[in-house]
Structure 1
Amino acid sequence: MEILSLIQSDPLVYKNDSLIRVRNLMNRSLLPELPVVSEDDLIGTITSKNLVNILPKVKIENLLASHIAEKDYIKSDVNSELSYLAKEFLSKKRFIACIFKEKFIGYVQRRRLLSFLLDSNEEIKNYVSKDFVTVDLEESIKKIIKLVKNEVPILILKDGQPFTAFSPEELYFIIFVSNYAVRKIERDFETLRGDERKILKMRINQAKLRKLKEEGKIVHLPPLTVADMAKNNFLISETQTVGDAAKIMLNFNKNIIAVKEGGVISDLSLLKALV
């Protein structure tokens, strides 16, 4: 019954929601995957990765969430063991698991499973991955956009040393909610009013954007450079513990952390400790 403490039922995407609505929900909740429902029935899930790949190819004016809901989501019974959920996340690499008790009752974020590892004193060195590509802090944001399609973590270097890291999921999320995708989304701009209209209009100057962020009306600012995107860096040492890494990921909504000695550690790799 440990799963019960992790279940959430908000936010949800409804089948007739526009991509504008989806974008704003993801932006405010910092979730790169959300369930799509019709009344209390689950249709599927929608991911920022899929949205980034779709946007350049389609006209979105009449595109609704139900049109692009994915069926390959993780499905779990409310009584499933944590180890089962961890295995499903490791296998399918999704961000949420949809939970059922006869019918859909909510979902569990992958990262929230890390709350069961906060007291672990095991060193992280056995979970560090060398599977990544590097990008210098001074590189163009366009390089990040090209590299994300390789589905490999990106380690950001500053003066040749590890500085911070981003998972493909984090990058697809940032790309979708920020300026890169807005050019396509703005076709639906006139359907919004008030604050939502302000949040979407990314062409206003940076001072106004930052004011909106301070007021809590927008979460992500459009990254202009890799340095801008990596402003809040996270770095951990191989001698630190699994609990240390889990705490950083939970507190700062990170899926991956750069390792000082060279490498990255992800929430997925830490979930192996629960299997």
Structure 2
Amino acid sequence: MVWQAAAMAAITIRVADGVGTLVIDNPERRNAMTVEMYEAVPPAVNALVAEHGVRCIVVRGAGSDAFGAGSDVAEFPRRRLHDGGAAYESAEHAAWHALASSPVPVLAAIHGACMGGGVAVAVHCDVRYAADDAVFAVPPARLGLAYPPAAVARLADLVGPGTAKRLLFTAARLDAHEAAAVGLVDVVVAKSELDDLVAAEARRIARLAPLSVAAAKLAVDTHLGYRDDRGELAALVRRCYDSDDLREGIAAFLEKRRPRFAGR
């Protein structure tokens, strides 16, 4: 299924084995994000979760060169300057919020260039896996832009305020291992192993109890201040204890078999 965003640019989704894949599909421009592509992310996430019932989402870039080279600077003069800036930022924020607030885990599979807006997408995912060819930078100061505060906050939470400031002040590049050392990514593997590793992790998540996984995501995000509804968290925890899945998990453990979780 494809949301056509513009000529040669799209957000594409695929579904297999309970896992949805959301592809940043603009390889001719190293997967730079247009405003139409940002606008396509929320309905894509909603379709994966609500229509297809996936239990995990993987975000990746099309082609072999980049996860995402950032926002498409070529459209800035007509889309981001002056009165257009507010609408552009609204589209960005809606895309990031859709990923961050997804009720199922969102994994970023990062290869090649991950710059600016690509980093913003990645930091709004739950877990970041990087190929050893990945390169990261946050270079808005090279253009005279202010990096969006929501993305700055996520970046600083991951790497710490000092490192976040250094990356923003200098537009310095980090390779995959440097990014892992400062906490920007969680796992680094050889490029040839990235897709298989992320697919295996996503399938593993999809086999586990969906309510338990959702409660874990919401608990961490509530602790970090990204969500502020402790009542919702308490209700979700109670749902876990009242669920058919808990009974199935206990029965499977006692019977020494793999559980079959239904998410209820």
Higher relative contact order (CA 8 A, sep 6+): 1
TM-score, normalised to structure 2, is: 0.29
Higher helix share: 2
TM-score, normalised to structure 1, is: 0.28
